[in-house]
Amino acid sequence: MSALLAIEGLCCGYGEIAAVTDLSLAVPAGAVVALLGPNGAGKTSTLMAIMGHVRLTGGALRFDGQDIARLPALARARLGIALVPEGRRLFPDLTVDETLTVGGYSRSAAADRANRARVFALFPRLAERRQQLAGSLSGGEQQMLAIGRALMAEPKLLLIDELSLGLMPRMVDLCVAALDALKRDGLTLLLVEQNTARALALADTVCVLAAGRAVFQGSAADARRDTDLFARYFGAPA
């Protein structure tokens, strides 16, 4: 598989603080890549740097063969990168329908209808609650809506930051099942996830970060076989 996203020697941070140092990572088209690591390892900063919300201080980013390192976030979104942020970050006073409209603002009316139908097929709960305010939804339903909002832009690459954070196990199951369906449809996913077992079950390849540097890269199967890996960096087996 060719790399849809190619990261070479990426460095990024906040002022004088380096969050990620010399990260190289390939995200193949149609694959699911899990970005794992302890708190403060640089996982969210990596996603934000890809999306254009955190400034690069070094390295290269190529998406679908194009250099995007200096492009603003809106231009990256138009090329086909979408983010499901940690904590969902929905507008609480917008309805489900209005939230999806925001996600698909750049698409035609026909595309909006088709994408909305796709989201509702993936998450029937949202179809049942389409006139309900986002702020009144459960945490799991809000996560579904955040994913749906991103899908309305027809992304080629979906970045997902902490899918299961704060969700009940049943809701996590539903969201993971949706990601698995998107994977089968050929969507490329880069996933940050605190639940390592679920991440390893879904991912094709894994990159583990610690203190802003990659300490492991390989297949999910290799990660599962490395009995010391998660004990070293997470304090417990996967």
Average pLDDT of the chain is: 93
Confidence tier at 113 by pLDDT (50, 70, 90): very high
The answer on 169 and 91 residing in a single domain is no
The answer on 100 and 60 residing in a single domain is no
Among candidate residues 138, 154, 170, the one where a domain is terminated: 154
- pLDDT above 60: residue 237: no
The answer on 221 and 190 residing in a single domain is yes
The answer on 56 and 4 residing in a single domain is yes
Query: Phi, psi at residue 9, to the nearest 5°?
Result: 60, 35
The answer on 73 and 160 residing in a single domain is yes
CA distance 48 to 66: 18
The answer on 163 and 148 residing in a single domain is no
Q: Which amino acid type is present at position 112?
A: D
Name residues whose C-beta falls within 8 Å of residue 143's C-beta, 6 or more positions apart in sequence.
84, 88, 163, 167, 171, 175
Per DSSP, the three-state class of 51 is helix
- pLDDT above 90: residue 224: no
Among candidate residues 154, 181, 209, the one where a domain is terminated: 154
Among candidate residues 125, 154, 183, the one where a domain is terminated: 154
The answer on 161 and 74 residing in a single domain is yes
Average pLDDT over residues 57-62: 96
The tokens 């077992």 sit on which residue? 197
- pLDDT above 70: residue 111: yes
The answer on 204 and 97 residing in a single domain is no
Instruction: Kindly report the CATH number assigned to the domain that includes residue 190.
Output: 3.40.50.300
The answer on 141 and 186 residing in a single domain is no
- pLDDT above 70: residue 16: yes
| Boundaries of domain holding 190 | 1-80+155-238
Average pLDDT over residues 91-97: 97
Could you tell me which residue, 22 or 106, shows the higher pLDDT? 22
* Vertex 42 angle, CA 39 and 46, to 5°: 140
**176-218, pLDDT tens digit by residue?**
999 999 999 999 999 999 888 899 999 999 999 999 999 999 9
Percent of the chain whose predicted confidence (pLDDT) is above 90: 83
The answer on 94 and 51 residing in a single domain is no
User: What total number of domains does the chain contain?
Assistant: 2
**129-171, pLDDT tens digit by residue?**
999 999 999 999 999 999 999 999 999 999 999 999 889 999 9
pTM for the structure as a whole: 0.93
